Amino acid sequence: MEFDDSTCLGLGIQGALPQSDDHDHQKKNGKKLILKDDQLLPSLTLGRRSENTLKSATKEKESTDVLQQASCMSMSMSALSSISNSKGIRDHHEDEGGSPRKKLRLTKPQFATLEDTFKEHSTLSPQKQGLAEKLNLRPRQVEVWFQNRRARSKLKQTEVECELLKRCCEKLKDENKRLQREVQELKSMKLSGAPLYMKLPAPTLTVCPSCDEKLDGGDGRDVDGDGYGDGDGSSTSRSSFTFGSKHLYNSFTHPSAFC
DNA sequence: CTATCCGACGGGATTACCTCA
DNA sequence: CCTGAGGTAATCCCGTCGGAT
């Protein structure tokens, strides 16, 4: 006999059978669920949950104990094992000094399906129910898996970015050192009295290699007509300028000024 | 015994929808 | 009929717990 998620054998308190797996809703607003005495009728039901039942059930105030008692027969063993993981049962067992529950481990196919779905979309709102049915899990379990998956994915991403920033920082440190050395050299040259141009190595002005490529065939116009190639003339440094179609820079003082 | 992984939970925030005065 | 306030449901993120490996 096949059961789907909407086929339910419920043993619970009549009138307040919550079908929502989302514990969030129960804890929302910090509301304890209180049922009137005449609502607390033990019941055993087998049938399909109608949309209305679902709707009204979720609207009803519910208690965790009630939730636990309303376990669906359609659940897989894994789902059942994880039901027993829930707080209510745990507390119940602890109260009774019962044995500790097993922790659910997703099977490989379940994991693979969830991974595939996650790769397509890291959120799952529309397909939660369907996915849960397909995997024989409770929607809540699928939801939790996605939440954890997002969290771990984010953590991993943060680690990668951190590593990247570290490397970037090291590079900048090196660059900073090199530039400081360069400044020192230039200062000492200036102090020695000779005109700077006489001391610069021969190929002082170099055509920016990337411009050489880019501007080949282009008109290379200096858009703002200021003789510099940076448009508004507010470049942070005048280490380079355009001449005709070429971007020229001082390869000695600004070896990294090409674009 | 310890470290790590990962499923689960609790709490807070946000958004959308509904009801009612 | 329109509107704002309040309630509720759904979903998300974050931090944490605790069983399994």
CATH number, domain at A149? 1.10.10.60
- Report the alpha-carbon distance of residue A48 to residue A58 in Å, rounded: 16
A162 and A207 fall within a common domain = no
Assess whether A63 (CB) lies less than 7 A from strand B: no
Name the residue range of residue A21's domain.
1-74
Q: Over the stretch A89-136, which tens digit does the pLDDT of each residue have?
A: 333 333 333 334 456 888 888 998 898 889 888 887 678 888 898 888
pLDDT at A105: 87
Does A259 reside within a domain? Answer: no
Select from A58, A74, A90 the last residue of a domain.
A74
The pLDDT assigned to A130 comes to: 87
Nucleotide nearest to A110 (CA to C1'): B7
User: Domain for residue A90, yes or no?
Assistant: no
Least confident of A73-77, A128-132, A146-150: A73-77
HSE of A163 in the Cβ direction (CA atoms, 13 Å)? 6
CA–C1' distance A70–B20 (Å)?
33
Q: With a 7 Å cutoff on the CB, does A5 touch strand C?
A: no
Any idea which of A65-69, A127-131, A240-244 has the lowest mean pLDDT? A65-69
Strand B proximal to A110 Cβ, under 7 A: no
Task: Determine whether A35 is exposed, middle or buried from the number of CB atoms within 10 Å of its CB (0-12, 13-18, 19+).
Answer: middle
Answer whether residue A77 shows pLDDT above 70: no
pLDDT of residue A191: 83
For position A210, what pLDDT does the model report? 54
Residue A171: pLDDT above 70? yes
How many CA atoms lie within 13 Å of A157's alpha carbon, on the beta-carbon side? 6
From the Cβ of A28, is strand B under 7 Å away?
yes
**Helix H segments across chain A?**
23-27, 51-59, 64-69, 77-83, 87-96, 108-120, 128-135, 139-191, 196-199, 209-214
- The total of other beta-carbon atoms located within 10 Å of residue A230's CB is 19
